[in-house]
Structures are given as structure tokens and as C-alpha cells.
Amino acid sequence: MGFKNDILNAEKYKKSDRKDFLQLLHRYKKCDKWANNIFKDVGVLLTSHPGNRAFLKASVESHKKLGYWLTLAYDNYFDPEEEKTSWDHYMPSREVGNMVDTLLIPHHQTWGGVLYPYFWLLRLGVSTMRDFKYIFCSNGDCIIEKPENFHQIIDLLESTDSDIAACGWEDNRVFNSTSFLAKSEAITALMDHFQENFIPLSQYEKTAQVFGNCEGRMGVAVKDLGLKIAPVENPYNTQLHVKGYGTWYDILGFRHIHAEYSYAYKMKLEPPEIKYFDEKYARASEYNLIKQYYDTKDISYLEEWWGM
């Protein structure tokens, strides 16, 4: 307060100096709009990769509405052996970069499949956010249509004295990692367990057939650590490619847009709303047909899309 009063009231400053100090004060205050989120109980972690870019902007925008610190952990496709690779070809847009509070990009990985890169996104993301009481994690091609209801997920976690509330917990074995809210110490312990049975490759070889994929590994960790999962209604399946099912949808309006889009194309169904596509990264031919459909509701545009 003394610093601010000095700037506003000190007549000893020249007029030009006072203007400079006021501009400096404005810049300091502007930082508070995002920096004060560090004091809130929840940190939001989005995990994504270049294949999600058509849906990443909508995902970041919807999760940003929660009003918490937002970290984007983004898979690194920059192969050091490919010198001609450009930032624009793989990286998030400037609009996305401007919305996140932390952008985390790990080492380039040569592992085939999604398990290894997702582990690092989650491991490093959780490590950077462990000072928050809760960490809310989602995939970067998912959106929230009812961010105002987020407190109900926290209430669900606390009222059941649980460590984690996930969008799905199947057969007390498969942990649906598409989205979850966890107490920081619980998800940190879970990731420690994951790492101990995954890194280096010799550990993966010992556990591959028993633990299975990411959801299976996290499920094993939950059981081994004695973590309590809040009771939820499961989504349609682990992919959430059909909207309208489960606790996460009922409370948050949570949807996996990328999966809905792929399923709609395959099964000749209505695609997700055009507002959830980023025109810059969607295939132009598909984007234009879907947009024309939503502008006119003329089914012929979808028929042309389905036939592509």
C-alpha cells in the first residue's frame, strides 16, 4: 500500500516520472489477474499433443472458465534428427499459449504409442502443481460445458472422504484417466508408483503383461496404495465417444470432442458443434462441410462429409 501511495501522491516526482510510475503500477496490477490463482486450492492440468490441435483451443477456453491456474503439458514431436521441423507444424497456437499459465514440453520421445509420452506429461505436470491442494486433470481434446458446477466435484471428493474422483472407475480395476480430480498427495503417490513400475525399460518389461495400459497401471496403483476413489456413474466407455453418460457429464457437461467427432464420422452421425473446432487446425474440407451443416441444418452436407 505504501508503494502505491508513494506513486499516486508524491508531488516530488516530475509529471513525466509520475506517468512512468503509474504505467509501472498498472503492469504490476495486471499480473495479479493471473498470478493470484497460485493461492487457490485447485490447479488445472491439461495434457495434449499435436493431434489434438483442432480441439485444443476449445478445451483450454472451457477449462480456463474454472478460474484456476492452468498448466498445459504438451507432447514434444520435435525429432532432433528432423532439422526442417517447424514450430508452427506441431506446436499450440499463439492464442492457446496466451491463455495458459504454464506451458510444459518434455524431451522428444521415440516410444511407439501413447503410454510413455502420457506418463511424462502427467508426471511432470503433477510435479509442477503439487503445491495445490487439488489437481484437476483432463485431456486437451475435452471440454467442460458447465464450469460453474465444478464445486460439486470437490464436494463429491470431500463428502465421501476420497482421495480421487475420476470420470470413470470400472470393475475396481480400470482408472479412467481422461479426467479426474485428485488430492495432490494422492496423485503424487500414484505417479511415484507408476514410475517405479515403468522406468527404466527393464521395469516395464516386468510389469507389461500384468499391469497393462495406462488405465490399468493407474488402477493397480490405486489398489496397491489403498487410495479411495469417489463413487461415480461411469461414462459410456473409457473413450467417452458418446456424450450424455456419467457423473462427469451430469455435473460438468464434460465431453471428449475428438472421440465424438471420430465416432460420428465412422457411424454417420451428427458431429460435435462447430464452435468446438479450431478452423486453423481442422481439415478445411471437413470443417467447411460441418460448418455449413450447422449454419443450415441441411443433412446433405453431412452426407458429403460421411462420404469423404
248 and 176 in contact (C-beta within 8 Å)? no
Strands (E), 5-97: 42-48, 69-74
Class of domain 40-255: alpha beta
Give per-residue burial for 69-105: e unless 16+ CB within 10 Å, then b: bbbbbbbbbeeeeeeeeeeeebbbbeebeebbbeebb
- Is 88 in a helix, a strand, or coil? helix
Instruction: With a cut of 70, list the residues of the chain below it in pLDDT.
Output: 1-16
pTM of this prediction? 0.91
User: Can you give the pLDDT at residue 173?
Assistant: 85
**How far is residue 104's CA from residue 122's CA, in Å, rounded to a whole number?**
10
- Is 44 in a helix, a strand, or coil? strand
Category of 246 on φ-ψ map: left (φ > 0), alpha (ψ -120 to 50) or beta:
left
**How far is residue 260's CA from residue 54's CA, in Å, rounded to a whole number?**
13
Residue type, 147: P
User: Can you give the pLDDT at residue 6?
Assistant: 57
User: Can you give the pLDDT at residue 84?
Assistant: 84
In the block, which residue shows the cell 508408483?
193
User: Can you give the pLDDT at residue 2?
Assistant: 57
Instruction: Name the residue among 274, 227, 280, 233 with its Cα closest to residue 254.
Output: 233
Query: Could you count the other beta carbons within 10 Å of the beta carbon of residue 269?
Result: 13
Query: Could you count the other beta carbons within 10 Å of the beta carbon of residue 205?
Result: 9
Residue 41 C-alpha cell reads as 486450492
User: Can you give the pLDDT at residue 120?
Assistant: 97
**How far is residue 254's CA from residue 240's CA, in Å, rounded to a whole number?**
9
**How far is residue 61's CA from residue 147's CA, in Å, rounded to a whole number?**
11
Contacts of residue 118, Cβ cutoff 8 Å, sequence gap at least 6:
47, 75, 177, 214
- Is 255 in a helix, a strand, or coil? strand
pLDDT digits (tens, 9 = 90+) for 202-234: 999 999 999 999 999 999 999 999 999 999 999
User: Can you give the pLDDT at residue 11?
Assistant: 54
User: Can you give the pLDDT at residue 20?
Assistant: 77
Burial of 178 (C-beta count, 10 Å sphere; 0-12/13-18/19+):
buried
Residue type, 150: F
Residue 11 C-alpha cell reads as 508531488
Q: Where are the domains of the chain?
A: 2-33, 40-255, 258-306
